[in-house]
């Protein structure tokens, strides 16, 4: 006999859930039976009362129920959550073997059946971002259990830092904040700085002040693709952040790398990372607005660079801004294509799931036409496999990465 409150949903909601999408929107709920508090587990049923799944409810959110199981026999006890954690860890050990396991995304929200939870590993520190009330109410079970599993498997985890400084938490009725989570039996680290090694390059990561959780792990293998074709090239790395694409290019044998970012703090970190990795002689980061710099270089007909990398922040975070975002993407890509000499290479990407692959590719075709060039496709990639995409959940497909040669 099930005791969870019952949420009856529309045929549309049922269809989406049966296809594996884990979100039930508020307008899809037709009737509720039983009392509950936000963050509780509830059963989702069809209009005829057939079981669909169980998930976290939150009346504050547009996503009223976040499904986490469609198995009516599941018991949501500690053993259940431990199995889920172990599945996620075991998957990363397969797809991120060896040294890569020490800096990777351990949990990617819905893709790992942990609605609204992100966990990144940076060597000896874990960084979490909790965007659902259901997970927030269970973190005192999940976080110590995750650390215990890793430590029992021989991983040297010293602390867990929460990066809950994001506005989306307010939409869930949660407060914003950040800081170390107190783990039982472990002393709280005195510093939020740690060192990682990615693709053989050393980075200092500041999990307290860095963007998102401290470092962008999803481009790990895309950076390797850049390194493979960088030998003897003069590289312009735009929106460099910590310098990671440019540093991989330098490691791949680039003749020179100019890295650009609007943030002076990012520029300083990129130059520090270049020195740390022994490539300061060929790598130089500078503060500049990428749009203005590209416009200036094109106007001057400066063809110094034969490899341009565009890794901008998400220009759109909602459907309503896709049109304006497309203009921004088209502008920088058109400028980059005009800047490159014939035979030069362009690496370009978008990290917004609202900018779909179809929209992005259409934009690239328009940019090539405007620039008066043809594009030879070298490679098409997505996010690294520690950020898995579920085919029944379009929102997990977000990173588009392309390498072209201008011909």
Longest dimension (CA), the chain: 75
351 is catalytic: yes
The CA distance from 372 to 225, in Å, is 26
Give residue for tokens 């069809």. Answer: 46
The CA distance from 336 to 89, in Å, is 40
The CA distance from 181 to 295, in Å, is 46
The CA distance from 235 to 274, in Å, is 14
Q: Which two tokens stand for residue 73?
A: 């026999």
Find, among 129, 149, 140, 33, the residue nearest to 85 by Cα.
149
Give ∠ CA 72-78-79 in degrees, rounded to 5: 70
The CA distance from 398 to 380, in Å, is 13
The CA distance from 152 to 364, in Å, is 48
Catalytic residue among 103, 238, 349, 351: 351
Q: Which two tokens stand for residue 213?
A: 């959780």
First to last CA, the chain: 67
Phi, then psi, of 62 in degrees rounded to 5? -60, -35
Angle between helices 322-339 and 357-371 (to 10 degrees): 40
The CA-atom distances, in angstroms, between 359 and each of 161, 234, 356, 362, 401 are 36, 30, 5, 5, 13
Give residue for tokens 């990398």. Answer: 309
The CA distance from 227 to 231, in Å, is 8
Give ∠ CA 404-406-407 in degrees, rounded to 5: 125
Catalytic residues: 351
């Amino acid at each position: 006999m099930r005791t969870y409150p019952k949420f009856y949903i529309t045929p549309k909601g049922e269809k989406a859930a049966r296809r594996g999408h884990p979100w039930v929107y508020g307008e899809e709920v037709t009737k509720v039976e039983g009392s509950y508090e936000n963050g509780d587990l509830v059963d989702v049923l069809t209009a005829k009362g057939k079981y669909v799944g169980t998930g976290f409810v939150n009346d504050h959110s547009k996503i009223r129920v976040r499904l986490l199981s469609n198995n009516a026999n599941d018991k949501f006890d500690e053993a259940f959550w431990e199995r889920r954690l172990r599945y996620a860890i075991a998957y990363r050990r397969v797809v991120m073997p060896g040294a890569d396991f020490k800096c990777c995304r351990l949990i990617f929200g819905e893709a790992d059946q942990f609605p609204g939870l992100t966990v990144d590993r940076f060597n000896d520190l874990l960084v979490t971002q909790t965007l659902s009330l259901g997970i927030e109410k269970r973190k005192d079970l999940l976080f110590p259990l995750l650390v215990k599993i890793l430590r029992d498997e021989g991983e040297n985890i010293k602390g867990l830092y929460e990066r809950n400084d994001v506005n989306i938490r307010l939409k869930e009725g949660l407060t914003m904040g950040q800081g170390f989570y107190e783990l039982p039996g472990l002393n709280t680290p005195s510093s939020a700085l740690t060192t990682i090694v990615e693709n053989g390059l050393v980075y200092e990561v500041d999990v307290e002040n860095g963007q998102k959780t401290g470092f962008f792990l999803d481009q790990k293998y895309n950076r390797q693709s850049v390194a493979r074709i960088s030998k003897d090239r003069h590289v312009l790395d735009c929106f460099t952040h910590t310098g990671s694409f440019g540093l991989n290019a330098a490691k791949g044998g680039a003749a020179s790398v100019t890295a650009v970012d609007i943030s002076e703090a990012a520029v300083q970190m990129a130059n520090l990372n270049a020195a740390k990795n022994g490539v300061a002689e060929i790598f130089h980061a500078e503060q500049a607005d990428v749009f203005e710099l590209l416009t200036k270089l094109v106007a001057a007909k400066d063809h110094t660079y034969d490899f341009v990398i565009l890794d901008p922040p998400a220009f759109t975070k909602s459907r309503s801004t896709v049109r304006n975002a497309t203009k921004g993407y088209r502008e920088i890509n058109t400028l980059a294509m005009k800047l490159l000499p014939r035979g030069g290479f362009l690496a370009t990407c978008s990290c917004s799931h609202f900018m779909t692959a179809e929209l992005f590719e259409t934009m690239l075709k328009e940019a090539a036409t405007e620039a008066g060039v043809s594009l030879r496709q070298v490679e098409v990639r997505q996010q690294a496999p520690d950020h898995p995409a579920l085919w029944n959940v379009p929102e997990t497909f977000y990173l588009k990465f392309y390498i072209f040669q201008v011909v």
